[in-house]
């Protein structure tokens, strides 16, 4: 009798654990550049560059604000960018020293003087890193890649973006803006709907909050990849 009961209820548990896959369409990158920059890099394979980082370049998430965020050190991201520029053959100048030169001379220094004093040819300005771009959908796919619609539930994941601006110092020429996007689950993320996970969700501690942005290691990998893309696009 026990075996018969187990046989009868087993399909119920199997039905509750059917595979569902979440997918988002890759958000396209936004690139605007000039031929002057491309031509400059053809003649200068190892350009002298500096990474400029404004104070508001990193977008603070709501959870960081609620935790009395006081400008948590994001140097690991800026260092990752500079390391990728170095590995691509760029000569990277010290950004703090560059800022001191800019702030000197009562802010009257012109671009020719700036080039001579800093021995720098290109400014790569980090306009913005946003680690908390929300993606939302009520669609999912089964294990045969058939699109389905969930009428009762929307699922969310966080993506990110990074934006650079390029200035050619010698001519004071605005040479391009490059925005790269990280879209989550492009290749598919399995959504767990098993009975075991449903029980787990019910037993979660009250008040527990999810992470309101892309996780640190994913964000760092995205920034590295975006910097490689930046160099490739600048040289095209």
DSSP secondary structure letter of residue 173? E
Position 181 pLDDT exceeds 90: yes
Distance from chain centroid for Cα 217? 11
Give the tens place of pLDDT for each residue, 38-64.
999 999 999 999 999 998 899 887 666
Q: Which residues of 16-32 are buried (b: 16+ CB within 10 A; e: fewer)?
A: eeeebbbbbeebeeebe
Backbone φ, ψ for residue 50 (5° rounding):
-135, 140
User: What are 73's two structure tokens?
Assistant: 């050190």
Average pLDDT score over residue span 205-215: 64
Note the pLDDT of residue 105. 60
The more confidently predicted of residues 203 and 228 is 228
Give start and end residues of each alpha helix (H) in 27-139. 35-43, 62-66, 75-87, 95-103, 111-118
Q: Strands 147-149 and 139-141: what pairing?
A: antiparallel
Note the pLDDT of residue 101. 85
Give the tens place of pLDDT for each residue, 107-131.
566 777 888 889 999 999 999 999 9
Note the pLDDT of residue 55. 86
Note the pLDDT of residue 87. 97
**What is the C-alpha to C-alpha distance for residues 21 and 23, in angstroms, rounded to an integer?**
7
**What is the C-alpha to C-alpha distance for residues 221 and 165, in angstroms, rounded to an integer?**
20
**What is the C-alpha to C-alpha distance for residues 215 and 33, in angstroms, rounded to an integer?**
31
Give the tens place of pLDDT for each residue, 156-172.
999 999 999 999 998 88
Instruction: Specify whether the CB–CB gap between 166 and 178 falls below 8 A.
Output: yes
Give the tens place of pLDDT for each residue, 15-45.
445 788 999 999 999 999 999 999 999 999 9
Domains of the chain with CATH codes: 31-235 (3.30.160)
């Amino acid at each position: 009798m026990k075996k018969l009961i187990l046989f009868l209820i087993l399909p119920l548990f199997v039905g509750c654990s059917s595979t569902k896959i979440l997918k988002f369409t890759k958000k396209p990158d936004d690139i605007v550049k000039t031929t002057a920059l491309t031509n400059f890099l053809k003649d200068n394979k190892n350009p002298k560059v500096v990474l400029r980082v404004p104070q508001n370049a990193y977008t603070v998430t709501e959870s960081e604000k609620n935790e009395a965020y006081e400008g948590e050190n994001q140097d690991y991201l800026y260092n990752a960018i500079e390391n990728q520029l170095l590995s691509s053959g760029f000569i990277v100048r010290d950004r703090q020293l560059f800022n001191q030169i800019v702030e000197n001379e009562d802010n009257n220094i012109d671009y020719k003087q700036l080039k001579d004093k800093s021995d720098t040819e290109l400014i790569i300005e980090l306009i913005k890193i946003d680690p908390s771009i929300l993606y939302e959908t009520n669609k999912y796919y089964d294990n045969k890649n058939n699109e389905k619609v969930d009428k009762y539930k929307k699922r969310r994941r966080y993506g990110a973006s990074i934006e650079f601006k390029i200035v050619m110092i010698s001519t004071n020429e605005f040479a391009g803006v490059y925005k790269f996007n990280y879209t989550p689950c492009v290749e598919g993320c399995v959504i767990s709907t098993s009975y075991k996970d449903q029980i787990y969700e019910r037993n979660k501690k009250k008040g527990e909050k999810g992470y309101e942005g892309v996780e640190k290691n994913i964000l760092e990998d995205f920034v590295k990849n975006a910097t490689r893309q930046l160099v490739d696009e600048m040289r095209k």
